[in-house]
Structure 1
Amino acid sequence: MALHLTLSQKQTLLLVIIQILTIQYSFFTITRAQSNSNLCRTSCGDIPIQYPFGIDDGCGSPYYRYILACSDSGKLEVRTPSGRYPIHNVSYDDPHILVTDPFMWNCEDGENYRPTRPFSLDTSTRFKLSPQNEYLFFNCSEDHVIVKPKPIFCERFPERCDSSCDSGSYLCRHMPGCSFAMSGSSCCSYYPKATESLRLMLKYCTSYTSIYWRNVGAPQPYDQVPEYGIRIDFDIPVTTRCLQCQDPSKGGGTCGFDTETQSFICLCKEGNFTTHCKDYDIAQHKRRVHVIAGTVTAISAAGAFGIGAGIWYLKKVRTKAPVTCGVQSNENRLF
């Protein structure tokens, strides 16, 4: 049975189809805008995440890509060749992170030394062990390690001293936070020049721990106090584009990078730009064209087929239906 529609019915049906297209267009446009406005997380637990770091791929500097991770429990960790280690604190004014190594000796162990493993860093990154670190080694074999007090002149001319393990170290005599004296164990202080030297020391020593000197802002010589942990210094690569991107007067964006090309991208609520967020006003027309193109590709094949079928059906009805509302002309025809 053939269906014959009047001109007013066909116009109503056309309006319904236009509304469907509008709703779908708005839905996919909003979806795309939301995906562009997913900015980088700014913290992990109570530790702030700022440039050059990022815990979401494409955030921060590509030099530190895949280095930091935020665990499901909200703990910030650093990835190194020797494992993943919890980060105690991050300083951006004095660029460094403080790492806790659960495998290292601590005061609670006393003289019960646990098996440990050497901490290492990837030398291809912008990380480096801080010279404010000191390592204490326990029960080293004097047949393989030079264990003796260093001469006094070594403090003034360290380049003239060999790499012996200093048994007269201040830290060995004043263990931070420990109320006992390690009378039954030998202790010496040593700063390894590389991971290999640290690994070699542990081959001939029972265990070790890392102590860094924390600045407390007091007058010298009380401006630093020793604490357990590993201080890792890092560089902050500063570029003009990143400064422009972060500039509040230019939109206050977040510095990031393209995950495929690793080229710079300014992440903004309105989308991603190669300079700063205020470019949104300049490039809004171009972006609208891209959004429309993206929306068309986002519409499902079934939806596109249904819309095409509706248009084909109206055309077919128009060719068969009699003209009942006056003469059909270019001014009043549907298609």
Structure 2
Amino acid sequence: MGLSITNKRLILSILSLIIQLITLSFPTLTTSQSTTCRTSCGNIQIKYPFGIDDGCGSPYYRHILVCSESQKLELRTPSGTYPVRNLSYDDPHIVVTDPFMWACEDGENFRPTRPFSLDTSTRFKLSQQNEYMFFNCSEDNVIIQPKPMFCEHYPERCDSSCDSASYLCRHLPSCSFSFTSSSCCSYYPKASESLRLMLKYCTSYASVYWRNVGAPQPYDQVPEYGIRVDFDIPVTTRCLQCQDLLKGGGTCGFDTETQSFMCLCKDGNSTTHCKDHDLVQHNKRVHVIAGTVTGISAAGAIGIGAGIWYLKKVKTKAPVTCGVQSNENRLF
């Protein structure tokens, strides 16, 4: 007996679905990586060595920056995700805010907080322009004492004690009051690990960085709340060639599977620059970044697999007359 009308219609529906899934999947094969590398998040410019799409920028900073649905740039660290206030490439640094740290409106309500930390495998480090204020510290565990003026200018030559008579504790930035010497002390952290150790014996903290305003000394820096994180910009010959406008003006990126260098161009990807004769063309294998997939989409693959499985199942049940298909029992 041949296939029933119901089975034939079902098979045609499955074939139609498979064709649609394949058709929808082909654009991902013809989209080069650079066309989906976003260059901004909100009003903050995103360029090398960073990327908010996988495969863009340097692999050293992969999955570090996140652009939220509300177009807010955030920095990922082991201690959490922090809003980015400023990102500078000329003086390479990021300024983030910690929503858990003490703020002026808290007054002497020292709510418990968590220490900010950095991933040591990345090329980030706490800036020497940071200064921290710790509140309600245990004097049995923390050396709390006034420091001489010399230490304000050369903190690296002083010990790691917490200065109870610091300028910041006496002149809290943007605050209309100041703490008594027993409630606040300032400290220059040498590493994020120092913050964790201090917060074991202090209730809360606030981070201040000294922003350079370009005025004559000693008024060239002003204190602002935030955490300044310095970063390196890895510069390679291949990246410079890739970005060279005379050679096509590509975008420096990397293969999302091997993390090897990739120059992202409009017409495909290259291991050198966009005018290289060995440029990877659209119809060749391209490792696509987040938001797309390599080759056919996952949904397409599942749909095709399910369709093939069903066709095989039906085909095994379909009668065959002496090994020859007739018009009644053929599937295609």
TM-score (norm 1): 0.74
Q: In 2, are the aligned partners of 1:256 and 1:266 still within 8 Å (CA)?
A: yes
Q: In 2, are the aligned partners of 1:147 and 1:167 still within 8 Å (CA)?
A: yes
Matches within 5 A, 1:73-222: 73-155=70-152, 158-183=155-180, 186-222=183-219
Q: Secondary structure at the match of 1:272?
A: strand
Aligned pair in 2 of structure 1 residues 37, 242: CA closer, same or farther (>3 Å)? closer
Q: Secondary structure at the match of 2:200?
A: helix
1: CA distance, partners of 2:121 / 2:90 = 23
Q: 2:239 — aligned with what?
A: 242
1: CA distance, partners of 2:262 / 2:75 = 24
Q: 2:262 aligns with which of 260, 265, 269?
A: 265
How far off its partner does 1:289 sit? 7.7
Percent identical pairs in the alignment equals 76
Aligned pair in 2 of structure 1 residues 250, 146: CA closer, same or farther (>3 Å)? same
2: CA distance, partners of 1:251 / 1:61 = 19
Task: In structure 2, give the amino acid aligned to 1:210.
Answer: S
Aligned pair in 2 of structure 1 residues 241, 183: CA closer, same or farther (>3 Å)? same
Task: In structure 2, give the amino acid aligned to 1:60.
Answer: G
Task: In structure 2, give the amino acid aligned to 1:236.
Answer: I
2: CA distance, partners of 1:289 / 1:71 = 32
Q: In 1, are the aligned partners of 2:110 and 2:204 still within 8 Å (CA)?
A: yes
Q: In 2, are the aligned partners of 1:39 and 1:267 still within 8 Å (CA)?
A: no
Q: 2:40 — aligned with what?
A: 43
How far off its partner does 1:164 sit? 0.8
Q: 1:254 — aligned with what?
A: 251
CA-to-partner distance for each residue in 1:245-297, whole Å, 9 max, x for gaps? Answer: 11111111100001111111000110001111112xx347x848848xxxxx9
Structure having the higher helix fraction is 1
CA-to-partner distance for each residue in 1:178-232, whole Å, 9 max, x for gaps? Answer: 0122249621111223333322211221211000011111111111110000000
Q: CA RMSD in A?
A: 2.8
Asked if 1:225 corresponds to 2:222, the answer is yes
2: CA distance, partners of 1:45 / 1:190 = 34
TM-score (norm 2): 0.74
Aligned pair in 2 of structure 1 residues 260, 92: CA closer, same or farther (>3 Å)? same
How many residues are treated as equivalent by the alignment?
272
Q: Secondary structure at the match of 2:36?
A: coil
Aligned pair in 2 of structure 1 residues 276, 208: CA closer, same or farther (>3 Å)? same
How far off its partner does 1:141 sit? 1.6
Aligned pair in 2 of structure 1 residues 159, 246: CA closer, same or farther (>3 Å)? closer
Structure 2 unmatched ranges of 5 or more:
1-22, 286-294, 308-332
Structure 1 unmatched ranges of 5 or more:
1-25, 292-296, 303-335
Q: In 2, are the aligned partners of 1:40 and 1:54 still within 8 Å (CA)?
A: yes
Higher relative contact order (CA 8 A, sep 6+): 2
Query: Considering only CA atoms, is the larger Rg found in Structure 1 or Structure 2?
Result: 1
CA-to-partner distance for each residue in 1:94-114, whole Å, 9 max, x for gaps? Answer: 000000000000112111121
Q: 2:7 — aligned with what?
A: none
